[in-house]
Structure 1
Amino acid sequence: MERLEGGGVSVVNVVVCGHFNHGKTTLVKALTGEWLDRLPHEREMGVTIEPARAFLELGDTTVSFVDVPGHRDYIRNMLASAWSADYAILVVAADEGPCPGTIDHALVVSFYGARVLPVVSKVDLVSRDRAAEVADEVMDLLELLGVEAVVEPVPVSAKTGEGAEELLDALAELEEPPRPSEMDPLRAPVESTRRVDETTVDVFGIVDRGTLEEGRVEVQPGGRSAEVLEVESTDGSGPGVPFRARLRVKGSITRGMCLGEGLSTADRIEAEVLSIGAKVRPGTMGKVHVLSAAANVRFAEVETDAGTEVLRPYAEGHNVAHVVLELDREVVVEPGDRFLVTVGNEPAVLGVVEGVAR
């Protein structure tokens, strides 16, 4: 067992999220010294496209940061990592204030169970009064959305270093949340991969439950078997731990697949959902995001609490429904999993799986 950078007694996973160009990647660089826009086109465009991780050791805790895209065009990539976050740094630029991406990301990460640390970034560009005004706007927004903040908004300038120590102090106070048992059957969603040679691939992700060890594992969907040659992680290879696993396997492994034991797959899901965006009715098409996977989806059945077939946001009784979703391919999923459906590139429905079928 090798270690990724870090190695504290406990691990907390922190997604750095918010509207695009609000300074998320620059903030991670200021905190960790690591620049996460690694792809040439990311640097050329000045936007994050692929999620990337950096690690910071604070006392006995390893903080695993994942910098996710803020642009709605890349929400698929954001959701592939957001599902596993324990905490979320919600970045809001002082020169713009809360934007649509602020709302999207706050709703999504809190729905997945992450606790929010709001940050007002780029405070070197505005007056102190303006920075304080944006901090108040952020708190008002979170209260409106029903999202609890762990701390008051921290004013930060990645350029001057202002507020960095205060934010690090807040991060050092974070506690690792309860995890599933290491003895549970393994489920480890794949977030990204890197081909080593014709039969060997490096797989990156976070263990959802169980323990990832060297030996044979199941790869789903597809029902294949792979050999884990080595595992590299920050702290063992149990639940909540980011990992790199080198596999010997026939065929390809892609984001959205899972390594595990006794994994269930389905292309038909029954769920309870909450509308947060577009109207939805039987026949509406979208994309469902569950764990690190995404699939095209059709709403086969919709029955709201008001007894109608049209799901509408912010309309009491009409914004909650029991639905049946038909996917264009199987994904790893089981009752209790949380998911999000996008229509276009906009978040439309949050849901909890009640039943699955193939």
Structure 2
Amino acid sequence: MDRIGKGFDTPAPSTADSSLPNPFADRPSTARQHAQAKSQLEAAINDLDKISNMPEGIEESVWQRLCAYRREKIENDLLIKQKALVLAEMDNFYKKRVEEDERLRNEIEGIFDTLNKLHDDRVRFNLNLEVQLMLKQGQVEVDPTNFIQDYKDSALIHRTVVEELNSNIKQLGESKITSMMESKDFRKGIIQLEWEQKRMLMQMEDFQNKMKDIQFMKVTREIQLYLSNEDYEGKKSEEIGKLEQTILTQLKHHEKNVREKKRIMKDLGKTVKSRDSENSSMDNDLAELNVTVNERRHIDEVNADRRSNTGTEKRYQEIVQRRKLVDLAKAQAQEVAVLRAEVERLRMRTFPALVQVEH
């Protein structure tokens, strides 16, 4: 391969071979055509430069100078056309040489690629030899397919590479677990913040309700005193002291009234007992009188035919006396009922009653 490269890289000789034809020189047929065209043009120009073709009113010196300028212009145009044709032919030749050079370069690159491939195959055949190795169980990580294993696509790598790969996998797994834990904690924090927001919103609603209750609450005299008086506790203690004194005074007065009422109840009890004894005696008398009245009524009924005017008067007197006795018994019964109600009222008044004192 080096010899081929050297063969292509050999420089060209410094001196051109004179025997080789010039590719840019005029060809014989082209030269003859150019000579014929030039002779024809020269004849035409000479024909135009004749004195007979000179316009009237122009001097001969001016005509000759004009003819010289015209001849020079025509020669220059002809030279430009010739050079343009030569340039076009040179461009065509250059394009052909460039295409040929590109084709040769592609061929050379193909040859070099083939040589490199052959060189790599030779190196691979020299280095990639089939070697039988004894490996422990677990170190072969090729998926079993057939009974005879094909290790053509397998690669023998060092144990440290696998351990390093496993370490990297473990690190990546730990980092992923860490990121998942961070994501979980972040989500947990978001949920906690949402709960805290809901709690604050509920507290705010509760405070608004309390504020409405405070706004619509009726301000009593006691609240006004509490808001207007700085030493409200001292004043409250003073009022409590006054109330305690009032309660003590009322208790003493109540005890005095209770003693007095007990004495009155004792006297009334004695009176009731005496009245009860009198009533019992009167009841006995009333029973006896009823018996007597019934006996007299029976006797009067038996002896009704025998009575005279005097007997009628006596019967009337008995009826009047009986009526008075009945009225007396009713009056005494009413008096006993009144005394019993008074005793009950006095008994109920013995219980203490606390009355709020207004200041």
What TM-score comes out, normalization by structure 2 length? 0.13
Give the strand-richer structure, 1 or 2.
Answer: 1
Work out which structure has the larger RCO, using CA pairs closer than 8 Å and 6 or more positions apart in sequence. 2
Give the helix-richer structure, 1 or 2.
Answer: 2
